[in-house]
Amino acid sequence: MSDRIESLAEQMTLEEKVSILSGEDFWSVPAIPRLGIGKLRVTDGPNGARGGGSLIGGVKSASFPVGIALGATWNVDLVKEIGAALADEVKSKQAHMLLAPTVNIHRSVTNGRNFECYSEDPILSGELAVAYITGLQGEGIAATIKHFVGNESEIERTTMSSEIDERALREIYLVPFEMAVKKAETWGVMSSYNRLNGTFTSEHEWLLTDVLRKDWNYQGIVMSDWFGSHSTAETVNAGLDLEMPGPPRDRGQKLVDAVKSGAVSEAILNQRVIAMLRLMQRVGSLDDHREFKEVANDRPEHRALIRRAGAEAAVLLKNNGALPLKGHGSIAVIGPNAKVAQIMGGGSAQLNAHYRISPWQGLVEALGEERLRYAPGCTNHRFEPLLRGAFTVEYFANETLAGEPVHIGAQDEAQAFWIGNVAEGKVDPLHFSARLTGSFTPDTSGEHRVGIYAAGFAKVFIDGQLVADDWTNWTKGRTFFEEGSDEVVGTMQMEAGRTYEVVIEFATKGFATLGLAAFAAGIGLPLGNAAIAEAVRIARNADTAIVFVGRNGEWDTEGSDLPSIDLPGRQNELVAAIAQANPNTIVVLQTGGPVEMPWIGSVVALLQAWYPGQEAGNAIADVLTGTVEPSGRLPQTFPTRWADNPAHSQDREVYPGHEGKVRYEEGIFVGYRHYDKHGMTPQFPFGFGLGYASFEIGDLTVDDAEFEAEGTVMVGVTVSNTSHRDGATVVQLYVSDDAASDPRPEKELKAFRKLTLRAGETRQITLTLDARAFAYYRTKAEHWLVEDGSFTLRVGLSSADLPLSAQVSRKTTLMLPV
């Protein structure tokens, strides 16, 4: 401990110590002016730095590719570069700590938050997290790896108990966190919302103290997820340093009293305080007394990095030679995601991007508009399209819109996410009402759908008529982090060109866990058969059709899981119709994970582009045109059917959870480990992706001189680019225990390397395996064990293409500490 921290801790009163163990507001920990201690500020995370304030609006920020897209790059150097660039972004929002990365494991294909997480595999997740954190912290900004642990689905996430056995925890779910602590020395960890085997992770002593601090020697802080702390002495004693957000609910005076009564010892309190002071010293917030000011820094170098990363994330899943695009023929650009840039997922990871390039814009830039024709074909939204336009907002300091407004504000869209300071502090953020008045002028006549959903009560009136009522019969649904209703939709016949008055009334209601008030309202005109027919017509008349389908951040979002992995709306029908109309149909998919693809046999190419950030359309065009080699590889197995997924079960307790429990019955057999075990051939395997260049690997060499003594092995291989294009590929090394005495996966990824080779170039690489690469966790003995006997090493370019193999063996067993 530094002298300064020691001396500060000695000078602090009990109240001052307690004050820095809770947030002051949503995004900061209070200053202590008497001791010259500045305020510590945090920001979400992970695909940018949103800054303070609400989840929507806010000062603009750079929007980077989401977690699963980074997972698909398999490129640790690139992810480290992104970490460093994100540090600039955090600084532009005058924060010190980024609430990222998210490393929960893709257990179920329907988890709403998979887009934010890297992979189904712990080593791939861990290596990328280490790179991200190293880049970020290298620039003096703290990481907060999250959510520790067992937050693999969003359903009832604030109360659900994830029932996970210790072996699965140690071998799968804890691994990215362990690597972040041991290899990247992360300065922050965020506990999850859920319980782990019955106990909230925010008060789980085994997790926060025994595993994290004793086993792994962690030196940073643990903060709760927002409103995820539920007790005073229990959380402090278990190892939770910081309760977020503020103002304190479980701490403050309650913690002062707990220390006075002896429920929390001075020694424990001091440990928490010192951890916080150490963090403040590391990030420089101890001495940060600047006036708070956030800026939007739209930097050219960030633009270039985001475009490069977005293109590198794209995974080419099928190509019958249609890509890269050739010649000068006409192209029909079709689909709901063609002119709408899907750049990020939903929830706390969302931010106000500097700009959003749609695929249409990217293609126009790359190929010129003359060759392109457009038709949306159908829609894919979950909620009616957000109503945008000028709204006046009258705020009332009561929940019944009674009397005179106490504040009048303005906003430019029909949605709000009110947290913290509302109406310039003139209303209690959890007890107020508001009336928004604006207008809507339809482009087309017809029966419009008017939708609203709210964490609160809400109604929409059009020209004085109540059209959507989410007030009278409000029911809890799957919006706003499970605090909101489902969308209520009413219909109204409207005429093109006529301006209608829109009035939205809102009032707060009690909340279950998260203190928030929010709503979103939209108006849409359904696209019908005529829209599909029009898309078919332009596809038939074009040389090539590219269909941009997928989901968006309404589906791939924190706070709710997906109802299935079918493409929403009529998109499957659209793809099938286009493929029938044009034999040269290419599909570009943007989702946070797999979808079922009934049309896969009838399209000539398929590119998975995820949510690649603000440069989305340019990055996608770079790959389609061949300016950039597709070098993304799947970080998650794409099953043929949802039913093949490990978490899919008739037993509700296995997924989505039942009576407060979700049982991880498959244990260590998640992702490809599951498909291997059951001999299932997925649609596209883990680690798979095509390129335009072609590669061969050979000359496998194994140096096992230290295997018996140390458990380490060095594996050499040569990689050749056998094509006439420069390109990149990912060499993957999997280990199998040939005669395991406990059940073990058929193979497990233990090392990988992304490399770029010029046309015709050959390179020799070495991958190093440490003893843990061969070990499994023996729960009864509480240690890792490398068994005697032989192990097979398999090397290749995807989990299903491992042409090289060798065996190593050992005579003795090796026990490794936790």
Catalytic residues: 225
Using CB under 6 A as the binding criterion, the count of chain residues that bind ligand BGC stands at: 8
Q: What's the min distance (Å) between Cβ of 507 and ligand BGC?
A: 23
Window 426-465: contact mask with ligand BGC (x via CB under 6 A): ----------------------------------------
Q: Which is nearer to ligand BGC, 99 or 149 (CB)?
A: 99
Cβ count near 431 (within 10 Å):
14
Q: What's the min distance (Å) between Cβ of 159 and ligand BGC?
A: 14
Q: What's the min distance (Å) between Cβ of 157 and ligand BGC?
A: 8
Residue 556 near ligand BGC by CB under 6 A: no
Q: What's the min distance (Å) between Cβ of 28 and ligand BGC?
A: 12
Window 182-221: contact mask with ligand BGC (x via CB under 6 A): ----------------------------------------
Residues 484-543 that bind ligand BGC (CB under 6 A): none
Q: Which is nearer to ligand BGC, 164 or 349 (CB)?
A: 349
Q: Which is nearer to ligand BGC, 226 or 684 (CB)?
A: 226
User: What is the token pair recorded at 393?
Assistant: 């907002």
Window 298-337: contact mask with ligand BGC (x via CB under 6 A): ----------------------------------------
User: What is the token pair recorded at 410?
Assistant: 């303005």
Residues 113-152 that bind ligand BGC (CB under 6 A): 146
Peptide bond into 594 cis (omega under 30): no
Residue 481 near ligand BGC by CB under 6 A: yes
The pair phi, psi for residue 36, each rounded to 5°, is 70, 20
User: What is the token pair recorded at 107?
Assistant: 């257990």
Q: Which is nearer to ligand BGC, 225 or 505 (CB)?
A: 225
Q: What's the min distance (Å) between Cβ of 187 and ligand BGC?
A: 15
Q: How far apart are CA 664 and CA 740, in angstroms?
A: 22
Pairing label, strands 500-507, 457-462: antiparallel
Binding ligand BGC (rule: CB under 6 A), the pick from 30, 38, 45, 632 is 45
Q: Which is nearer to ligand BGC, 454 or 502 (CB)?
A: 454
Q: What's the min distance (Å) between Cβ of 37 and ligand BGC?
A: 23
Q: Which is nearer to ligand BGC, 481 or 686 (CB)?
A: 481
Contacts (Cβ under 8 Å, ≥6 apart) of 71: 117, 118, 119, 124, 125, 128, 635, 636
Q: What is the DSSP letter of 311?
A: H
Binding ligand BGC (rule: CB under 6 A), the pick from 187, 226, 506, 611 is 226
Residues 373-412 that bind ligand BGC (CB under 6 A): none
Q: Which is nearer to ligand BGC, 99 or 577 (CB)?
A: 99
Q: How far apart are CA 508 and CA 792, in angstroms?
A: 60
* 617 touches 360 (CB < 8 A): yes
Residue type, 544: T
Cβ count near 625 (within 10 Å):
16
Binding ligand BGC (rule: CB under 6 A), the pick from 24, 44, 121, 399 is 44
- Closest-by-Cβ residue to ligand BGC is 348
CA atoms lying within 13 Å on the CB side of residue 128: 32
Q: What's the min distance (Å) between Cβ of 70 and ligand BGC?
A: 16
Q: Which is nearer to ligand BGC, 194 or 798 (CB)?
A: 194
Residues 84-113 that bind ligand BGC (CB under 6 A): 99
Sheet with 315-319, strands from edge to edge, namely: 315-319, 605-608, 585-590, 544-550, 331-334, 372-375
Q: What is the CA radius of gyration of the chain?
A: 27
Q: What's the min distance (Å) between Cβ of 99 and ligand BGC?
A: 4
Cβ count near 288 (within 10 Å):
17
Grouping H, G, I as helix, E, B as strand and the rest as coil, residue 95 is: coil
Q: Which is nearer to ligand BGC, 110 or 194 (CB)?
A: 194
Of 435, 500, 439, residue with least CA distance to 471: 435
Binding ligand BGC (rule: CB under 6 A), the pick from 22, 28, 348, 614 is 348
* 691 touches 633 (CB < 8 A): no
User: What is the token pair recorded at 406?
Assistant: 């106490």
Q: How far apart are CA 16 and CA 32, in angstroms?
A: 7
Q: How far apart are CA 395 and CA 399, in angstroms?
A: 10
Q: What's the min distance (Å) between Cβ of 691 and ligand BGC?
A: 34
Binding ligand BGC (rule: CB under 6 A), the pick from 154, 225, 312, 561 is 225
Q: What's the min distance (Å) between Cβ of 779 and ligand BGC?
A: 29
Q: What is the DSSP letter of 486?
A: P
Cβ count near 466 (within 10 Å):
14
Can you name the residues that pair with 143 across neighbouring β-strands? 98
Q: What's the min distance (Å) between Cβ of 226 and ligand BGC?
A: 4
User: What is the token pair recorded at 805?
Assistant: 């193999």
Q: Which is nearer to ligand BGC, 44 or 241 (CB)?
A: 44
* 236 touches 258 (CB < 8 A): yes
Peptide bond into 46 cis (omega under 30): yes
Determine the length of the chain: 818
Q: How far apart are CA 115 and CA 70, in angstroms?
A: 10
Q: Specify the DSSP element, H or E, that contains 623.
A: helix 616-625
Q: Which is nearer to ligand BGC, 45 or 639 (CB)?
A: 45
* 682 touches 675 (CB < 8 A): yes
Q: How far apart are CA 736 and CA 738, in angstroms?
A: 6
Q: What's the min distance (Å) between Cβ of 225 and ligand BGC?
A: 5
* 245 touches 226 (CB < 8 A): yes
Q: Which is nearer to ligand BGC, 44 or 704 (CB)?
A: 44
Which residues of the shown chain bind ligand BGC in the complex (CB under 6 A)? 44-45, 99, 146, 225-226, 348, 481
